Amino acid sequence: MRTRIAPTPSGYLHVGNAFNFLVTAELTTAFGGTLVLRIDDLDQERVRTEYVEDVFRSLEWLDIRADEGPSGPEELRSRWSQHLRMDRYEHFVQELRRKGQLYPCACSRSEMERHEGGVHLCRTEEFGSVPLGTPWRLSVPEACSIHWVEWDGVQQVIALDTVLPDPVMVQRGNGRPAYQIASLLDDLDMGIDHIIRGVDLIPSTACQLHLARLIERPAFHGVRFHHHPLAMDATGRKLSKSAGDASLKAMREAGRSPEPMKERAKAYTDRLIACIIA
């Protein structure tokens, strides 16, 4: 069993991240697996050194030790950065293009609503040479239903064309591959076979399963997924970096203990394990 925790260092980590890391680490230990730390540092404009350092400090504070992955910011830069894997991602993008799965489209979200017979106009247009910096979208077919069984046996059926219609695969301006591509290829190349993530990433899971089928990587269809509920604040609002919620950094600096979070994650994981082995 190989699992991963994959934070994006574009902000200070918060309780929601901690819950995900703790549940993943607990499950990996319980099943005798290997835990990989992967730092999703592709988004150069948003990644900052202090956020990268925060990942390592937070893991230490939570007492989580990864079996593989960078041991610090320097090793991330020199050995593990996603920027060192650009050729891999690019190769995958070319494969999708060759198969006719991508189309250039610089439309805004509202312009994407322009349809003809249920299909976005840019998708049906002939294109010759495309200006550099044009985003490329994935052609998601109509009624594209993605089905999988979660690790604990729960059935998931997601209409990809509804939850993630024609997502961008190559980004505007910088030509950078989208999160979906980098995440899928990293998981495949690192031999990850169990993925624990929040329910907010269910559309991403559906998209990645679809992509894996398009480029014939059946290994990804053997991955076991668990999508856990998101950490909520006292008012039931989803916690997120952008909402300015208490970060793990703020908790550390206030001298708070991670124990209550660890207990919550442990209780959740114990219930989940009971469902898995039942």
Q: Binding-site residue total for Zn ion (CB under 5 A)?
A: 3
By beta-carbon proximity to Zn ion, the closer residue of 42 and 122 is 122
Q: What span, in angstroms and rounded, lies between the C-alpha atoms of 7 and 156?
A: 24
The single-letter code of the amino acid at 79 is: R
Q: Cβ(181)–Cβ(89) under 8 Å?
A: yes
> Minimum CB separation from Zn ion for residue 175, in Å?
17
Site membership for Zn ion, residue 170 (CB under 5 A): no
Nearer to Zn ion, 131 or 222 (CB): 131
Tell me whether strands 145-149 and 155-159 are parallel, antiparallel or unpaired: antiparallel
Site for Zn ion in 176-205 (CB under 5 A): none
The whole-angstrom separation of Cα 38 and Cα 81 is 9
**For Zn ion, which stretch binds (CB under 5 A), given 78-86, 117-125, 152-160, 255-263?**
117-125
Q: Which stretch binds Zn ion (CB under 5 A): 70-78, 95-103, 122-130, 140-148?
A: 122-130
Site residues for Zn ion, 74-113, by CB under 5 A, read: 105, 107
Which amino acid is residue 74, in one-letter code? E
Helix count and strand count (H, E) for the chain: 10, 11
Q: Are 156 and 150 in contact (CB under 8 A)?
A: yes
Task: Report the residue number, 49 or 124, with the smaller CB distance to Zn ion.
Answer: 124
Residue placing its CB nearer to Zn ion in the complex, 64 or 122: 122
Nearest CB to Zn ion, comparing residues 137 and 197: 137
When the beta carbons of 67 and 113 are compared against Zn ion, the nearer one is 113
Stretch that binds Zn ion, among 5-13, 37-45, 119-127, 267-275 (CB under 5 A): 119-127
Taking CB under 5 A as the criterion, the residue among 15, 27, 66, 122 binding Zn ion is 122
Task: Check if the beta carbon of residue 123 is closer than 8 Å to that of residue 161.
Answer: no
Q: Closest distance between Zn ion and the C-beta of residue 115, in Å?
A: 11
Q: Measured between alpha carbons, how far is 51 from 80 in angstroms, rounded to an integer?
A: 16
Amino acid at 55: V
Closest approach of Zn ion to the CB of residue 182, in Å: 23
Place of tokens 């805004």: 108
Side-chain half-sphere CA neighbours of 195 within 13 A: 28
Can you give the binding site for Zn ion, defined by CB under 5 A? 105, 107, 122
